[in-house]
Copies of this chain bind each other. A is one copy, B any other.
Amino acid sequence: MIPLEEIRQISVVSPSKIVMLVIDGLGGLPDSRTGKTELETAHTPYLDQLAKEGICGLIDPVSPGITPGSGPGHLALFGYDPLKFTIGRGVLEALGIGFELQKNDIAARGNFCTVDGKGVITDRRAGRITTDKCAELCTLLSHIKLQGVESFVLPVKEHRFSLILRGKGLASEINDTDPQKIGVAPYTPKYKYIIAKHTADIVNEFIKQAKRILAGHHPANMILLRGFSKLPDVPSMSEIYKLTPAAIAGYPMYKGLAKLVGMKIYNADGGIKDELKTLKDCYAKHDFFYVHVKQTDSAGEDGDFKRKVKIIEEVDSALPQILNLKPEVIIVTGDHSTPALLKGHSWHPVPALLYSQWCRHDNVKAFSESACLSGGLGSLQSIDIMPLAMANALKLTKFGA
């Protein structure tokens, strides 16, 4: 891993273009009957051909054994050390619903919960109220007035909501009020450092008013807050790489992550074909394109091996739309593995493919976990992918004389 500051020193502007296709949760585990993973089961002639002409490997998003969330998984692919640039739960939730977070906003993840007569939590999720009910209660909480601070209360899903505070002198060093267990009262919001005392007072006031407003709304008669955070201070990709980067994605969280690193966002929520049409439309305006495919991860999370296979095949059949644009560098990989067998993100390394005129060939003839294992890129960290893409696009000069 090379520090971003060093990359900034050696990156140069050039007309070459890089397309990074991120197939979310791409890596998998083998079905016990066939011994093949989702990617190995899928019929992927275009990806296989690209693997043959390019160079392959397996990437670790964070570190061996570590299962990454979407934030770290993506930041690493964009070349940012996920152990250094951490994204708080509150911020991620706000990004996830497409809220336009400003630089000094404080965001927290909220739960509607149930408390008994003594104020003790009896259900941390308020019986998983419907999203409609959640939206209705968020509207009620939106009327809370705070001294010198604007607040936004937005529904996420079921009992989950997002709280954003905007105002002068706010700090995010506030402990969770969510004790993460029942049988106790919610914690009072406490500041971790004195700098956050004012914010703790504001949060306290918000909770007091919320309690009053929600009193008659059993089971959602109280709130729990956690993950108080600000947008991390991240240098933009244009600063580091001298790129004019574009993101083509359908889901709010990924657009939020892309925005965080300074990409121009293009919305495309009609699946891969729609995304690749958008890519074509904006192709002249940028030199880096992050294209995000979400559905593979969702299928993996649902434990739906077959659906994940099918989506990979769809991506494969759409691949010529990228190839026809003739970008100098194409990266195909994932932000992490989501094996259908585990029904969730996992720690397994992710197949990665790099195609350019300048890559040294290996013997990989198919794009799969097992083939990538003997690929020319070897085992590397996700964070090394961007420098490799930049190098193959001839956008990096010599390091040192």
Contact = CB atoms under 8 A, between A and B. Distances in A.
Contact of A69 (B64, B387, B401): B401
Given A65-B391, A345-B398, 14 more contacts: A2-B83, A29-B358, A62-B400, A65-B387, A65-B390, A67-B391, A67-B396, A68-B398, A82-B399, A86-B400, A88-B401, A227-B401, A346-B391, A347-B388
B388 A30 contact: no
A161 B46 CA distance: 53
15 contacts: A2-B83, A29-B360, A62-B399, A65-B390, A66-B396, A68-B400, A69-B400, A70-B401, A71-B400, A71-B401, A87-B401, A345-B398, A360-B369, A374-B374, A379-B380
B399 A66 contact: yes
Interface band, chain A: 35 or more
Interface of A: 1-3, 6, 10, 29-30, 35, 37, 58, 62-72, 82-83, 86-89, 92-93, 227, 341-342, 345-348, 358, 360-363, 369-370, 373-374, 376-380, 384, 386-392, 396-401
Contacts of A30: 360-361
Give the oligomeric copy count: 2
A98 B121 CA distance: 51
B86 A2 contact: no
A360 B10 CA distance: 38
A63 B387 contact: yes
Interface of A is mostly: loop
Nearest to A336: B398
A378 B376 contact: no
Contacts of A345: 398
Contacts of A67: 391, 396-399
Given A65-B384, A388-B64, A391-B67, A400 B361 contact: no
Contact of A373 (B72, B346, B378): B378
A337 to B, nearest CB: 9
A54 to B, nearest CB: 13
A378 B373 CA distance: 8
A365 to B, nearest CB: 14
A400 B360 contact: no
Given A64-B380, A64-B387, A391-B67, A87 B370 contact: no
Closest 10 CB pairs of A and B: A65-B387, A378-B379, A72-B400, A65-B388, A64-B384, A69-B400, A65-B391, A2-B63, A347-B391, A92-B401
Contacts of A72: 399-400
Contacts of A227: 401
A358 B387 contact: no
B2 A62 contact: yes
Contacts of A342: 358
A83 to B, nearest CB: 7
Contacts of A3: 83
B89 A401 contact: yes
Contacts of A387: 63-66, 347
- Counting chain B CB atoms within 10 Å of each CB, the highest count among A227, A380, A392 belongs to A380
